[in-house]
Amino acid sequence: MNFGGIEEQYTVWKKAAFVVVPVPYDLTTTYQSGSRRGPAAILDASGNMELYDEELDQETYLAGICTFAPIEAEAAGPEAMVRKVEERVTAASQGGKIPVVLGGEHSISLGAIRALKRRHANLSVLQFDAHADMRESYQGSPYSHACIARRAREICPVVQVGIRSLSAEEAVFLKANPVKTWSVESIRSQPDCPEALCRDLSDDVYVTIDLDVFDPSLMPSTGTPEPGGLLWHEVLSVLREVCRRRRVRGFDVVELAPLPGIVAPDFLAAKLTYRTMGYLVQAAGRGKDRRPRAAARR
């Protein structure tokens, strides 16, 4: 199963601009488990998308999307899983591809960040999330999904978007160690927010999207949903500008925990992934040659 259900000629490693890395893993998930089923749900939904992107007037898949086999879950724990992700993303990046990691729980993002930091010394991280994820440790593990931003911050600067839930421990830490944060309210109240946010990032950026950044009315299928989240076009407005103004070296979409019989969140995650690829194709100047050519899929 490849991303988009696309023709084989556009999935070949040699010609692909993107490499999709599915990571079906949720060992440290709290509250509601199930994000291990997220990558398969995204891939399945992506096969039912229209491959013509109506916003960008292009067929992004023509740039090439190679889909790796899913990374097998590591029973040794999240640190070992992070290393596996790091190895796979390193291979993609060294091959000149843009890695696109599909989770799975948020802890896996650390492997991608480590891999890309080695190649891009000036890397910063843009984190879309409902939760600060700044705990030093959670349930005995410093590699828990609740610690991903804390671990990322030890490697490179982090800018957070959409945060609306954190523990007292995290509040104390962030007062002593401030991180640039764009709240839901600031995004809605500042018309120039996307452009201003870019100034907080370095030239090279890794984007990590925890789907609970969205309001649960759009995205109920997460392990820890939080009310008061961002809406579809609000997230896209930020992604569009970041992809245009910065060099996005890779991104992930994590924490989809599919709900039986409710496919809209799965489709949202798939289209978000494809739209972000589209922004990167357009930013690279390849979009001009990606004119519509395929028949509708419905």
| 79-117 CB burial, b ≥16 within 10 A, e <16 | eebbebbbebbbebbeeebbbbbbbbbbbbbbbbbbbbb
Mean pLDDT for the stretch of residues 78-82:
92
Distance from C-alpha of 129 to C-alpha of 175, rounded to nearest angstrom: 19
Show the domain range for 88: 3-289
In a domain, 38, yes or no: yes
Confidence at residue 294, expressed as pLDDT on a 0 to 100 scale: 45
- Tell me what pLDDT residue 43 has: 98
- In the chain, % helix, strand, coil (3-state, to 5) comes to 40, 20, 40
150 domain residue, yes or no: yes
119 occurs within a structural domain = yes
Is residue 294 assigned to a domain? Answer: no
Supply the pLDDT for residue 191: 86
How many C-beta atoms lie closer than 10 Å to residue 178's C-beta? 8
| CA distance linking residue 2 with residue 14, whole number of Å | 16
Most confident of 24-28, 105-109, 265-269, 283-287: 265-269
DSSP-assigned beta bridge partners for residue 253: 102, 209
| Mean pLDDT within 48-60 | 97
Model confidence over 139-161: pLDDT tens digits? 889 989 899 999 999 999 999 99
Is residue 296 domain-resident?
Answer: no
Q: 4 preceded by cis ω (within 30°)?
A: no
Q: Residue type at 294?
A: A
Q: Establish if 295 belongs to a structural domain.
A: no
Which residue bears the tokens 């509708």?
296
Q: What is the pLDDT of residue 295?
A: 43
Question: How much is the pTM?
Answer: 0.94
User: Is residue 18 included in any domain, yes or no?
Assistant: yes
Instruction: Look at residue 298 and tell me if it is in a domain.
Output: no
- Does 298 have pLDDT greater than 90? no
Total tally of structural domains belonging to the chain? 1
pLDDT of 198-245, one tens digit each? 999 999 999 999 999 999 999 999 999 999 999 999 999 999 999 999
Q: Please report, for the domain that includes residue 271, its CATH number.
A: 3.40.800.10
